[in-house]
Amino acid sequence: MELRLVLGDQLNAGHSWFRTPDPAVCYLMAELRQETDYCRHHRQKVLAFLATMRAFAAALGKAGHRVCYLTLDESARWPDLPSLLEAQLALHQASSFAWQSPDEWRLASQLKSWAASLAIPTTEVESEHFLTPRDGWQRYPHSRMEFFYRTLRKQYQVLLDEDGNPLGGRWNFDDENRAKLPERQPIPAPLLFANEVQDIDAMVTRHGVKTLGSADASKLPWPIIRRQSRDLLEHFLTHCLPHFGRYQDALSERGWSLFHSRLSFSLNSKMLHPLEVIRAAQSHWQTNQDTITLAQVEGFIRQILGWREFVRALYWEKMPDYKQTNFLEANRPLPGFFWSGETRMACVRHAINQSLEHGYAHHIQRLMVTGNFALLAGIDPDQVDEWYLGIYVDAIEWVELPNTRGMSQFADGGLMGSRPYVSSGAYLERMGHYCKGCHYQVKARSGEGSCPFNSLYWHFLWRNRDKLGRNPRLALPYANWDGQPEPQQQAILASAEHHLIHLEQL
């Protein structure tokens, strides 16, 4: 008997393991406190992963595979994964052990170290999900994501003409994908599911698992089976893709998903394969070019073929040291309103409350609202990582860490992005509608009632000049700062210092 471990984010029905049932193989899946407790997760995240795992195990069994599934009730006797595996190897009298390569460093290290001590044969196989290998950072151009992305476009023949050139004569249509959402632009209603997970919810409560955010266990909205994931993909292609690219950076209180796909949970749990999604998007665009422009589909594909593969390559190249990077030496504690949403900053309040309610925020909310504020305020990247990893349903460390510590907080010194993604209130006003009803005045750079983003932006540049002053992409902002009268500079810095002292009261 060979015991094969399937982790909670390895729900890939297309994996070669599952092509033919083998009576000499038993697939082990387990709900573990080790996984529910390594950070404080959103309630919907815990429920979604456990429900998806159970559904996948049931599908394997229905297909004729032998499955051993342990719920939290059954696995609670073991303190961690290695101790559980040792007991299961003995119980099943297994003569060999196999596992798919984990995507998180902590699990990969834990399993590799434990398996090395076994006296039986062991095998580690690929998860057969990603489009690049773990050492992709060395195999592909990695100075910037754009060149990484272009290479993959060529390799997988995505949006190319017969001569191998990019359709439309351009690799990137990002400059067409930064429009503010018009107030009268119709927004499609999000496709939500109503999965009943009350039994899982009760079990989580019974075991005292600490969670954050809210959840309705009678109608969990996230896809928990592949068919639902496919339905969500089809809904995106039909109703959202026609305007996705144009408004992907828009900020709005009119809807919590806007034109975004919300497919990241299905992708990161591996219910959907990235190439499957990319091919579906390209095919749908090809047959609907009267309503969907090239810029819309390219903007979507770039998120999956470009950013998703790029951050994974960076993660595996730089871990475990990457998790300790703090280039700007930020050390302030994360304000309490990140956990409550109680702040007078309208844009931050909306992004946090939406995250607490839905376990979701789109990439600009994460990068340019909450992330931007944390970077400007000099928040400890360890605490920022913990928040992002816990609050979002789709957050797994391999994708969360480079996006948060690298792109959002610039703690890696420029591996993910060529400059810090910071802005004053002007950007938030340009991309959204929050400022009209905000307690703070977006036009004011200093003084009582001035937008914190304004003075904190200049204070950030001022205090980090020794590390950022020679960055060519920041030459214009620094020239702007230097051109301001000294009294105005001092007023801005004084306002920023006041905000930093009273972060909890903003």
Q: What is the CATH number of the domain that holds 429?
A: 1.10.579.10
Q: Which residues contact 14 (CB under 8 A, 6 or more apart)?
A: 128, 273
Mark whether 384 and 442 lie in a shared domain. Answer: yes
Q: Does residue 318 fall inside a structural domain?
A: no
Residue where a domain terminates, one of 309, 325, 349: 309
Q: Compute the distance between CA of residue 252 and CA of residue 347 in angstroms, rounded to an integer.
A: 9
Average pLDDT in the 373-397 region?
Answer: 98
Q: To the nearest 10°, report the CA torsion of 275, 391, 414, 424.
A: 120
pLDDT of 256-267, one tens digit each? Answer: 999 999 999 999
Residues 207, 116, single domain; the answer is no
| Contact (CB, 8 A) for 335 and 504 | yes
Residue 175 has pLDDT above 90, yes or no: no
Distance separating alpha carbons of residues 473 and 419, to the nearest angstrom: 7
Q: Distance between CA 404 and CA 414 in Å, rounded?
A: 13
Query: What's the confidence (pLDDT) of residue 408?
Result: 97
178 falls in which pLDDT band (50, 70, 90)?
confident
Q: List, for residues 145-168, the tens digit of each pLDDT value.
A: 999 999 999 999 999 999 999 999
Looking at the domain assignment, is residue 261 inside a domain? yes
Domain presence at residue 10: yes
Q: What is the mean pLDDT of residues 166-186?
A: 91
pLDDT mean over 363-385: 97
Mean local confidence (pLDDT), 90-118: 97
Domain check: are 119 and 144 in the same one? Answer: no
Same domain, yes or no: 274 and 155:
yes
Tokens representing 84 are 């559980």
Q: Are 296 and 246 in contact (CB under 8 A)?
A: yes
Residues counted in the chain: 506
Cα 438 from chain centroid? 28
| 389 & 491 share domain | yes
Asked if residue 414 belongs to a domain, the reply is: yes
320 part of a folded domain:
no
293: which residues sit within 8 A by CB, 6+ positions away?
245
The residue written with tokens 């950007």 in the block is 427
pLDDT confidence tier of residue 410, bands split at 50, 70 and 90: very high
- Residue where a domain stops, chosen among 125, 155, 171: 125
37 vs 21: CA distance, rounded Å: 33
Specify the number of domains making up the chain.
3
Residues 6+ apart with CB under 8 A from 154: 160, 164
Query: Is pLDDT at 274 greater than 90 in this prediction?
Result: yes
174 falls in which pLDDT band (50, 70, 90)? confident
φ/ψ region of 453 (left if φ > 0, alpha if ψ in -120 to 50, else beta) reads alpha
- My answer on whether 6 and 103 are in the same domain is yes
Q: Is residue 324 part of a domain?
A: no
Q: How far is CA 400 from the centre of its chain?
A: 5
Copy the structure tokens of residue 290: 């009267």
Average pLDDT over residues 88-94: 96
Tokens of 146: 């754009």
What integer pLDDT is reported at residue 143 of this predicted model? Answer: 86
Cα 152 to Cα 254, 307, 403, 418, distances in angstroms: 36, 11, 20, 21
Are 150 and 257 found together in one domain? yes
- CATH code: domain of residue 38: 3.40.50.620
C-alpha radius of gyration, the chain, whole number:
24
Task: Specify the DSSP class assigned to residue 28.
Answer: E
Is the Cβ–Cβ distance between 229 and 262 less than 8 Å?
no
CA 175 to chain centre: 23
Instruction: Say whether pLDDT at 176 is over 90.
Output: no
169 lies in the same domain as 109: no
User: Does 57 share its domain with 92?
Assistant: yes
Six token digits for residue 113 = 């170290």
Q: What's residue 399's pLDDT?
A: 97
Q: In terms of domains, do 251 and 173 share one?
A: yes
Whether 330 is in a domain gets the answer: no
pLDDT band with cut points at 50, 70 and 90 for residue 177: confident
Q: What distances in angstroms separate CA 431 from CA 252, 254, 323, one per listed residue?
A: 8, 13, 31
- Could you give the percent of the chain with pLDDT greater than 70? 100
- Mind listing the pLDDT tens digit for each residue in 462-504? 999 999 999 999 999 999 999 999 999 999 999 999 999 999 9
Average pLDDT of 289-294?
A: 96
Q: How far from each other are the two terminal CA atoms of the chain, in whole angstroms?
A: 60
Residue finishing a domain among 309, 327, 354: 309
| Whether the Cβ atoms of residue 111 and residue 16 lie closer than 8 Å to each other | no
Whether residues 293 and 441 fall in one domain: no
What is the rounded distance in angstroms from the CA atom of residue 56 to the CA atom of residue 10?
Answer: 10
Q: Are residues 114 and 140 in the same domain?
A: no
- 323 within a domain of the structure (yes/no): no
Q: What b/e string do you get for 468-478 counting C-beta neighbours within 10 Å, with b at 16 or more?
A: beeeeebeebb
Please report the pLDDT score of residue 463 as a whole number. 97
**What CATH number has the domain bearing residue 261?**
1.25.40.80
Query: Which residue range forms the structural domain that includes residue 262?
Result: 135-309
